[in-house]
Amino acid sequence: MTTASPTSSKPLYHETYKHQEHWRNNEDEFEGAKLGVWLFLTTEILLFSGMFCGYAILRFFYLDDFTAASSHYLNWKIGALNTGVLLISSFTVAMSVRASQLNKQGQLMINLLISAICGVIFLVVKLGWEYGPKIEKGELPGAMFAYGGHAGEYIPSTSDPVFLSIYWVATAIHGFHVLIGVVLLLWLAWRAGKKHFGPKHYTAVENVGLYWHLVDLVWIFLFPLLYLV
Amino acid sequence: MNATAHTQPHEDPTHHHIASFRSLFVILVILLIMTALTVYTAKFVDLGEMGNLILAMFIACFKAILVCAIFMHLLHDKFLNTVALAVCLVLVVTFIGFTMIDMASRGALDPTREHFIAPPSMSEANINAAIEKRDAEHAAEGGHAADDDHGADAEHTEDDGHAADDGH
C-alpha cells in the first residue's frame, strides 16, 4: 500500500486499488472473485431447485387442486407488480455496473439506491399485502393451516395446506435473499459514497450485481409457477 | 447494440465489455413485455392444464437466458463462468428430470394407487374414495386407464418395460 502524499488531491481508492498479494494482478483478482461468485450462485440454484422439484412432485399429485388453490390464495396482480419491481431493479443494477465502468459516480449512486428501494418495495408488498393478510386469515403452511377462516363458498381442499407450504417456503427463502440483497446494495451505496468504485476497480459492484440478478431469476420462475399456472 | 459500446472502450483500462445503455434498456423492456405475455397467456388464454404450464416455463426460460446473457454479462464474459452455470443446470435437470421419471412410473410398482400418494393427514377411506373417483373419471373419459383388472395389469406390465427403458 502506497501512502498518499498529503496533498489536496488525494488519489481515490479505486484509482490506486492494489490486488491482494496472492493474485498476480487486479484483473486476475477480479476474474477469480467473479468465478467464485458464479460457483456460489450455482449452489443457490441448486438450493432453489430443491423447491422447484418439490413443487413439481406436489403438482403431479394434486393437478387441479393446485391450480384452484393458486387462484384462490394468491393475487397475480401483486405477483406481477413484484416481478416488474424486481426486473427494474435488475436493470438499475446492470446500469450501476456500467456507471462504475465509466466512472460516473453520481449515476452509480442513483442506480444503487433505486435498486435498493426496489428491493424494499418488493419486501413491503410481500409482507404487507401477502404475508400479513395470510397470517390473519390462517392461510398458513401445513399443520398451521386454519380450515375455518374461509368466507364465502370456497371450500378448502386437503391439498391447500400443501400448496401453501410450498408457497411459504419458496417465497420466504426468496424474500430472505431479497433482504440480504438490499443490505448488500446499501453497503455498495455507502462505499460508492466514499468513491470506492471506478473503472479500475468495481469487483464488489459486479459481484453483488450477479447475486441480485440471480434473485431476480429465481422470481422469474417462481412467479408463473405459484401465481399463474 | 455494440455501436455505442465501441465509442468508449478506451475509458475502461481493464478492457471489460461495457454494456450500452440502449442494450440494457431494450432488454428491460423485452423482459417486462414477456412478463405481461406470461400473465396474459396464463390467465386469459386456455391452453389446457399442461399447455399453460409449458408455455409459462418456456417464456420464463427465455427471460432467464436474456438476464444471464446481458445483465449478468455471460455473453461477453470468460467462458468458464458459462461452464459453471451450464454444469449446474445439467445437475438441476438430472435432479428434477429423474424425479419426474420416478413419479411417472409409480403406478408400475403400485398398480392400485397409480399417481396417488396421499398426504399423511388423509384417512384410508378418503384415499379409497379419491382413487375410485379418479378411476371413474378415467372410465368416463374413455381413457386408457380402464378400471377392470385385466386391462390395468396388462398396461402396467407395459409401463414396467417403459420405465426400465427410461432408466437406461
d(CA A160, CA A227): 14
Counting residues of chain B whose pLDDT is more than 90, the rounded percentage is 38
Which pLDDT score, from 0 to 100, does residue B137 have?
73
Q: How far apart are CA A67 and CA B51, in angstroms?
A: 13
From A129-143, B51-65, B125-139, the region with the lowest mean pLDDT:
B125-139
Q: What separation, in Å, do the N-terminal and C-terminal C-alpha atoms of chain A show? A: 57
Contact check, Cβ <8 Å, A102/B115 = no
Mutation target to probe the B interface, by most B beta carbons within 10 A, among A16, A91, A107, A214 is A91
Render the burial of B69-97: b for 16+ CB within 10 Å, e for the rest: ebbbbbeebeeebbebbeebeeebeeebe
Q: Give B79's pLDDT tier (boundaries 50, 70, 90).
A: very high
Question: Would you state the pLDDT for residue B152?
Answer: 41
The whole-number average pLDDT for the span B153-163 is 42
Tell me whether residues B35 and A228 touch, CB distance under 8 A. Answer: no
In this prediction, residue A5 carries a pLDDT of 47
Query: In the predicted model, is pLDDT for residue B113 greater than 70?
Result: no
The one-character DSSP state at B70 is I
Q: What b/e sequence results for A12-28 when a residue is b if at least 16 CB atoms lie within 10 Å of its CB, and e otherwise?
A: bebeebebeeeeeebee
User: Cα B47–B51–B55 angle (5° rounding)?
Assistant: 105
C-beta separation of A226 from A167 below 8 A: yes
Residue in B72, B100, B126 to test binding to A, most A beta-carbons within 10 Å: B72
Which residue matches cell numbers 481493464?
A: B14
Q: Say how far apart CA A181 and CA A193 lie, in whole Å.
A: 18
Q: Point out which residues pair with A72 in neighbouring strands.
A: none
What pLDDT is stored for residue A48 in this prediction? 96
Residue scoring higher pLDDT (A181 or B147): A181
Alpha-carbon Rg for chain A in angstroms: 22
- From chain A, the residues in CB contact with B80 under 8 A are 35
**pLDDT tens, residue by residue, A76-100:** 999 999 999 999 999 999 999 999 9
Whether the predicted pLDDT of B157 surpasses 60: no
Given its phi and psi angles, is residue B56 left (phi above 0), alpha (psi -120 to 50 degrees) or beta? alpha
Q: Indicate which of B38, B77, B123 best probes the interface with A, i.e. most A CBs within 10 Å of its own CB.
A: B38
For residue A213, give the nearest of B14, B32, B67 by CB distance.
B67
Using a CB-CB distance cutoff of 8 angstroms, which residues of chain B are in contact with residue A61?
115-117
Comparing CB atoms, the residue among B8, B43, B60 nearest residue A220 is B60
CA distance A74 to A82: 13
Rounded CA-CA distance B160/B163 in Å is 5
In this predicted structure, the answer to whether residue B168 has a pLDDT above a threshold of 50 is no
Chain B residues in contact with A26 by the CB 8 A cut-off are 14
Contact A122, A85 (CB under 8 A): yes
Q: Which residues of chain A have pLDDT under 70?
A: 1-8, 148-153
The average confidence (pLDDT) of chain A is: 89
* Pairs across A and B, CB distance < 8 A: 148
Question: Which chain B residue's Cα is nearest to A226?
Answer: B53
Report how far residue B31's alpha carbon sits from residue B45's, in angstroms, rounded to the nearest whole number: 20
**Which residue matches cell numbers 413419479?**
B103
Facing B71 at nearest CB: one of A53, A213, A225 = A213
Question: How far does B160 lie from chain A, in Å, by closest CA?
Answer: 19
Residue B43 pLDDT level (bands cut at 50, 70, 90): confident
Mean pLDDT within B29-39? 95
Residue B144: which pLDDT band, with cuts at 50, 70 and 90? Answer: low
- The whole-number pLDDT of residue A152 equals 62
Q: Cα–Cα distance between A108 and A116 in angstroms, integer?
A: 12
Q: How far is A13 from chain B (nearest CA, A)?
A: 16
- Closest chain B C-alpha to A190 CA, distance in angstroms: 23
Please judge whether A84 and B35 are an interchain contact, meaning their C-beta atoms are less than 8 angstroms apart.
Answer: yes
Q: What HEC string does chain A produce?
A: CCCCCCCCCCCCHHHHCCCCCCCCCHHHHHHHHHHHHHHHHHHHHHHHHHHHHHHHHHHHHCHHHHHHHHHHHCCHHHHHHHHHHHHHHHHHHHHHHHHHHCCCHHHHHHHHHHHHHHHHHHHHHHHHHHHHHHHHHCCCCHHHCCCCCCCCCCCCCCCHHHHHHHHHHHHHHHHHHHHHHHHHHHHHHHHHHCCCCECCECHHHHHHHHHHHHHHHHHHHHHHHHHHC
Chain B residue numbers with beta carbons less than 8 Å from the beta carbon of A34 are: 77-78, 81
CA distance A7 to chain B (A): 25
Structural domains of chain A in order of their starting residue, each with its CATH number: 23-228 (1.20.120.80)
Task: Determine which of A27, A29, A87, A147 to mutate to test the interface with B (most B C-beta atoms within 10 Å).
Answer: A87
pLDDT for the residue numbered B74: 92
B106 — pLDDT class (breaks 50, 70, 90): low
Distance (Å, rounded) from C-alpha A36 to C-alpha A30? 10
